[in-house]
Amino acid sequence: MSVDFEVQRRRIVESLVHMGYLKNPRVIKALLTVPREYFVPAHLREYAYVDSPLPIGHGQTISAIHMVAIMTDELEPEPGDKVLEVGTGSGYQAAVLAEMVAKQDPSRRGHVYTIERIPGLVEFARRNLEVAGYSEYVTVIEGDGTLGYPKQAPYDRIIVTAAAPEVPKPLLDQLRDGGRLVIPVGDLYIQRLLIIDKVDGKVKTRYGIECVFVPLIGEYGWKIKY
């Protein structure tokens, strides 16, 4: 049976709008545009638009669509922004961000830097981004994202898509004044989304929804084997 991914994509986005998860028209446009089916393993492609996390190998997951929608909505990326993502996974969230900061308004071309600690997923994400047509807008870096990526700092927006025990200090240091950081913080079982704004050098934190992510492992994250 052939699957019409475009129809499925439209249906899930409409239902997320209906449920109130998606409000920002530019996030809606990005989710309607990025082909999620290119970011899941081939044998799971027919489930690409099921709204749940899916395994991508190495014990990791591509986040559920509603989670990508909520986090991107909270992040409010603007055309022209320089964005850092920690936890590349499949590359899907990075492509959604690239769509918003670099493709929606070609006169303001931003860039997405995304860090992944597992080499096999770095390769997986690079391939997916290439096939989906986003590789010129996204740089995938292999390493410990809890240290940030000082080479390109400061960032307008930083998003962490793995569960942190606390906010890694290097990420706060690498956030531009006026910038925003979105990160799930909690224990290994449940976290809360923190939305952190840096205003005049001071940090203001708002608390978002509860969520469940795989652990952020690294120097300023969890020190466990996973």
Which parts of 157-186 interact with ligand SAM (CB under 6 A)? 161-162
Counting Cβ atoms within 10 Å, is residue 79 exposed (0-12), middle (13-18) or buried (19+)?
A: middle
Catalytic residue, from 63, 90, 107, 135: name it.
63
Token readout for 53 is 């996390």
Q: Is 107 a catalytic residue?
A: no
List 89, 148, 170, 179, residue binding ligand SAM (CB under 6 A): 89
Total of residues contacting ligand SAM (CB under 6 A): 26
CB of 130 to ligand SAM, least distance (A): 15
CB of 56 to ligand SAM, least distance (A): 6
Please give the Cα distance from 70 to 53 (Å, whole number).
14
CB of 62 to ligand SAM, least distance (A): 4
Q: How many CB atoms lie within 10 A of CB 89?
A: 27
Nearer to ligand SAM (CB atom), residue 120 or residue 178: 120
Please give the Cα distance from 216 to 202 (Å, whole number).
25
List 37, 74, 116, 156, residue binding ligand SAM (CB under 6 A): 116
Name 157's Cβ contacts closer than 8 Å, sequence gap at least 6.
75, 76, 77, 81, 82, 83, 84, 97, 101, 179, 180, 181, 182
Please give the Cα distance from 30 to 188 (Å, whole number).
30
List 31, 73, 112, 146, residue binding ligand SAM (CB under 6 A): 146
Counting Cβ atoms within 10 Å, is residue 183 exposed (0-12), middle (13-18) or buried (19+)?
A: buried
Does the footprint of ligand SAM cover residue 100 (CB under 6 A)?
Answer: no
Nearer to ligand SAM (CB atom), residue 148 or residue 179: 148
Binding segment toward ligand SAM, per CB under 6 A, in 132-140, 141-149, 173-181, 197-205: 141-149
Please give the Cα distance from 219 to 78 (Å, whole number).
30
**Which residues here bind ligand SAM, judged by CB under 6 A?**
60-63, 86-87, 89-90, 92-93, 115-118, 121, 144-146, 161-162, 213-214, 216-218, 221
Active site residues: 63
